[in-house]
């Protein structure tokens, strides 16, 4: 099918797909005349471009880049967004005519002309433009996978293994976890790190956790910040936060800390429950399970990998459950203060770490 809609908020995979299509469909010797890129054009321009033919041998590729036709973020002439109600009504007939023309033009695209709509937003299939186009187009979705720091994600882990395979390598599970957590599942950054690690381990072909840690620029990421905070190293925690703030705003850091603390509270609560449920012989005040047994039970309860659970349980081993609950409440109050404009987000993070 010569018409393709690639849509989704996973920008890296979408852009890689577009690059692959261009390399496959267009003869590089004729690319200057047979490749046309239009940046979110109005409907009339798309209709005209869809009717063009290749010059010389091979195919022609018309790329409608950063297309907003099939999402609610549309704004250009012929779209349905960004208009007042009266203006929208006044141009309704013109819009319907353009949609009819779009559908006809896509239905009659020449066999060696390819029209690709690259949409950096998730597809909205309720829109008239989407309904008109999808009758004659193949749709490929590239939606960002939901990811929560510290939680296993089979789909993203599989993606990392496939990415390593692109470079003729395999990769350890622990290395995958480190990259996913350290980049908050930023696939573009992970792909760059895997490529770098695959080259580093040559002539071998197995990417280890140690290799990734050695090469990765994320030593000062939020997990190092959390480690400093848990161990009471306030000065180091503040320095780590300052370094992180040069790369991103404070809110994602605060949100990640909130997620981590909530997870630690759950893990700590499970450990206390497992220990409390142990039968206690007469004269013994308290029994505790050994670390390896706690790891096994908590991992089973949370359906997580044991090495991840062991790492977190060691992190929080000396922190009372009550302290974690108190700090989560503090962080929640600070988040509310940020949202109401009472305190700047970077200052709120510093207050939390210093407290």
pLDDT, mean of residues 222-227: 81
Q: Where in the chain is the domain with CATH 1.20.272.10?
A: 222-279+286-354
Number of H helices, E strands in the chain: 17, 7
User: Which is it for strands 138-141 and 60-65: parallel, antiparallel or unpaired?
Assistant: unpaired
Cα 54 to Cα 27: distance, rounded to the nearest angstrom: 11
Task: Answer yes or no: are the C-beta atoms of 49 and 115 closer than 8 Å.
Answer: yes
**DSSP structural state of residue 206:** E
Task: Answer yes or no: are the C-beta atoms of 102 and 132 closer than 8 Å.
Answer: yes
Task: Answer yes or no: are the C-beta atoms of 206 and 170 closer than 8 Å.
Answer: yes
Other Cβ atoms less than 10 A from the Cβ of 309: the count is: 22
- What is the pTM (predicted TM-score) of this model? 0.62
Cα 69 to Cα 78: distance, rounded to the nearest angstrom: 9
- Name the percent of the chain lying above pLDDT 70: 91
Residue 307 has pLDDT above 90, yes or no: no
pLDDT grade, residue 286 (50/70/90)?
Answer: low
Other Cβ atoms less than 10 A from the Cβ of 121: the count is: 17
Give domain 3-141's CATH number out of 2.60.120.10, 3.40.50.300, 3.40.50.450, 1.25.40.20.
Answer: 3.40.50.300
Q: Where in the chain is the domain with CATH 1.10.8.60?
A: 154-215
Task: Answer yes or no: are the C-beta atoms of 47 and 97 closer than 8 Å.
Answer: no
Cα 204 to Cα 55: distance, rounded to the nearest angstrom: 47
Q: What's the pLDDT score for residue 83?
A: 41
The CATH architecture one would assign to domain 154-215 is Orthogonal Bundle (1.10)
CATH 3.30.565.10 fits 222-279+286-354, yes or no: no
- 254 phi-psi bin (left φ>0, alpha ψ -120 to 50, beta other): alpha
Q: Where in the chain is the domain with CATH 3.40.50.300?
A: 3-141
Task: Answer yes or no: are the C-beta atoms of 57 and 30 closer than 8 Å.
Answer: yes
DSSP secondary structure letters along 165-183: HHTT-EE-HHHHHHHHHHH
Residue 281 has pLDDT above 90, yes or no: no
Q: Which residue has the tokens 């267009």?
A: 26
pLDDT grade, residue 34 (50/70/90)?
Answer: very high
Task: Answer yes or no: are the C-beta atoms of 206 and 228 closer than 8 Å.
Answer: no
Read off the pLDDT of residues 59-103 as tens digits, 9 standing for 90 and up.
Answer: 999 999 999 999 875 444 444 443 444 455 557 888 889 999 999
């Amino acid at each position: 099918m010569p018409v393709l809609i690639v849509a989704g908020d996973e920008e890296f995979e979408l852009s890689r797909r577009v690059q692959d299509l261009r390399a496959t469909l267009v003869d590089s010797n004729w690319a200057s005349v047979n490749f046309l890129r239009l940046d979110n054009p109005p409907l009339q321009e798309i209709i005209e471009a869809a009717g063009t033919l290749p010059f010389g041998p091979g195919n022609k590729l018309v790329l409608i880049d950063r297309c907003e036709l099939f999402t609610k973020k549309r704004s250009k002439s012929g779209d349905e967004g960004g208009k007042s109600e009266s203006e929208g009504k006044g141009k309704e007939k013109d819009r319907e005519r353009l949609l009819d023309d779009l559908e006809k033009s896509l239905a009659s695209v020449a066999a060696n002309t390819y029209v690709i709509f690259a949409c950096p937003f998730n597809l909205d299939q309720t829109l008239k433009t989407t309904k008109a186009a999808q009758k004659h187009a193949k749709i490929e979705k590239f939606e960002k996978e939901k990811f929560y720091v510290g939680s296993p994600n089979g789909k993203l882990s599989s993606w990392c293994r496939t990415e390593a395979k692109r470079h003729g390598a395999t990769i350890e599970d622990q290395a995958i976890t480190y990259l996913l957590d350290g980049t908050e599942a930023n696939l573009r950054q992970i792909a760059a790190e895997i490529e770098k690690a695959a080259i580093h381990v040559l002539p071998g072909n197995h990417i280890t956790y140690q290799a990734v840690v050695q090469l990765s620029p994320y030593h000062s990421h939020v997990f190092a910040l959390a480690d400093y905070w848990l161990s009471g190293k306030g000065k180091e925690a503040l320095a780590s936060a300052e370094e992180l703030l040069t790369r991103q705003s404070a809110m994602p850091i605060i949100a990640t800390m909130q997620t981590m603390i909530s997870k630690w509270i759950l893990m700590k609560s499970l450990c206390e429950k497992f220990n409390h449920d142990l039968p206690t012989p007469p004269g013994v005040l308290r029994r505790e399970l050994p670390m390896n047994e706690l790891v096994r039970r908590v991992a089973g309860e949370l359906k997580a990998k044991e090495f991840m659970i062991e790492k977190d349980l060691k992190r929080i081993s000396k922190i009372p459950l009550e302290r974690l609950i108190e700090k989560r409440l503090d962080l929640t109050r600070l988040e509310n203060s940020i949202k109401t404009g009472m305190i700047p987000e970077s200052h709120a993070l510093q207050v939390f770490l210093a407290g």
